[in-house]
Amino acid sequence: MSIRIADLFCGIGGIAEAVHRRPKPTAIGDVSLPSCSQTNQPVIATAIDIDRSVATLYKSHHGITPRCSTIESLDRVSANASEDLEMWWMSPPCQPYTRRGLQLGSKDSRSLALARLIELIPSAEPRFIGLENVPAFEGSKHHQQLTQTLCNAGYQFREYKICPTELGIPMRRKRYYLLAKQSGNPLPDFDPSNSAQPLQNFIDPASWNDAALHVPSDLLQHYQTAMNIIDASSPNAVTACFTSAYGKSPIKSGSYLHCQKQNLVRRFSPNEIAKLMGFRENFFTSSDLGQRSQYRLIGNSLAVHVVHSLLSILFDE
Ligand SMILES: C[S@@+](CC[C@H](N)C(=O)[O-])C[C@H]1O[C@@H](n2cnc3c(N)ncnc32)[C@H](O)[C@@H]1O
């Protein structure tokens, strides 16, 4: 049986990409394929986002067109009363909770949509719930409301704070995750793997020749000490967290690459960041979105490797 997922605040579909990465069910008698639970195969059944610009890219990679709507205006998550959705995956805007924002939490209008979903949980009772946000979400009023609602509605849940570096990915992006389910065995701890991958594996050599990615010398002179510049050939290089401001703000929005041989500093391309985030190769290549939008969307998205591991915790235990 399929687990039908609602991808809420879908953006470019980090959860859909994690579902895509899962091994396909083993055919009977086929021993060559990796096995996975036949009963809990997740599929993305619906996706919702206020941002119309994600629709074409989402459809081309994940096969469905997201509904364009404000989530706080919905009476229910499903498109109609007969549609059954077993899981809600929620990655609401993090600005109400970030340290760089004003931390207005529930007073920030950008948190209304999450508040609405929390209200809808007791009547909709999805079998599974997942949520991703910045670590500072924990301890916020909405965190308290969500966990209280889950307790009252009889869910068991577990919270995690995970950085992709724990899975060997050379990129920092520590995030808060919550998994909840209505029944079954207690949710286990997250078991990180340690096989570190070098940054080189994620770099596209052709991007060194893309002049649009080169950092102009005047900008470099002005911001060099504040920019996070890493040596592209270092086996221990780890990038900072890429945010939606990458490409717009030169500081605190992600890392830059330095090539000693060419004495060149450049931005990561959107496709390179997407690869670090766990998306398929050349994720943006067929897209007609401008580069600035690509940076914004990938900076807002999910660390797919982490979400993929969390789906295994939820469905394969
Ligand atoms: C943190 S991003 C989530 C990214 C997404 N999960 C991904 O994998 O790319 C938050 C998303 O919520 C959307 N959003 C913000 N406010 C919304 C609202 N009130 N209703 C629906 N979507 C909203 C934004 O357009 C953005 O795509």
pLDDT tens-digit series, residues 243-261:
999 999 989 999 999 998 8
- At position 245, the amino acid (one-letter code) is A
What number of residues does the chain have? 317
Lowest mean pLDDT among 26-35, 104-113, 124-133, 251-260: 26-35
- Predicted confidence at residue 33, as pLDDT, reads 44
Pocket flag, ligand 1, residue 49 (CB < 6 Å): yes
pLDDT for 303 beyond 60: yes
pLDDT at 83: 86
Q: Is the dihedral of CA 304, 296, 236, 281 positive or negative?
A: positive
Q: Which fold has domain 199-296?
A: DNA Methylase; Chain A, domain 2 (3.90.120)
Q: What is the pTM of this model?
A: 0.94
- 26, pLDDT greater than 70: no
Please give the pLDDT value at position 109.
Answer: 73
* Residue-wise pLDDT tens digits, 184-236: 899 999 988 778 999 999 999 999 999 999 999 999 999 989 999 999 899 99
pLDDT for the residue numbered 224: 87
Type of residue at 95: Q
User: C-alpha angle with apex 161: 157 to 166, nearest 5 degrees?
Assistant: 125
Q: Distance of alpha carbon 249 from its chain centroid, rounded?
A: 21
Q: How far apart are CA 233 and CA 203, in angstroms?
A: 10
pLDDT of residue 31: 47
What pLDDT is recorded for position 294? 98
Q: Average model confidence (pLDDT) for the chain?
A: 91
CB 129 within 8 A of CB 87: yes
Is the beta carbon of 51 within 6 A of some atom in ligand 1?
Answer: yes
Find the mean pLDDT for residues 28-35. 47
Q: How far is CA 307 from CA 121, 164, 165, 175, in A?
A: 21, 10, 13, 11
Q: How far is the CA of 155 from the centre of ligand 1 (A)?
A: 25
pLDDT, tens only, 72-108: 999 999 988 888 899 999 999 998 887 665 566 566 6
**Ligand 1 centroid to 51 CA: how many Å?**
7
Report domain extents, the chain.
2-186+303-315, 199-296
pLDDT at 36 over 60: no
The CATH number assigned to the domain with range 2-186+303-315 reads 3.40.50.150
Q: Is the CB of 137 under 6 A from ligand 1?
A: no
Structure tokens at 159: 């919270």
**CB neighbourhood size of 263 (10 A):** 7
Predicted confidence band of residue 155 (pLDDT cuts 50, 70, 90):
very high
**Taking a C-beta distance cutoff of 8 angstroms, is the pair 197, 170 a contact?**
yes
Nearest-angstrom CA–CA distance, 17 and 3? 15
End-to-end alpha carbon distance in the chain: 16
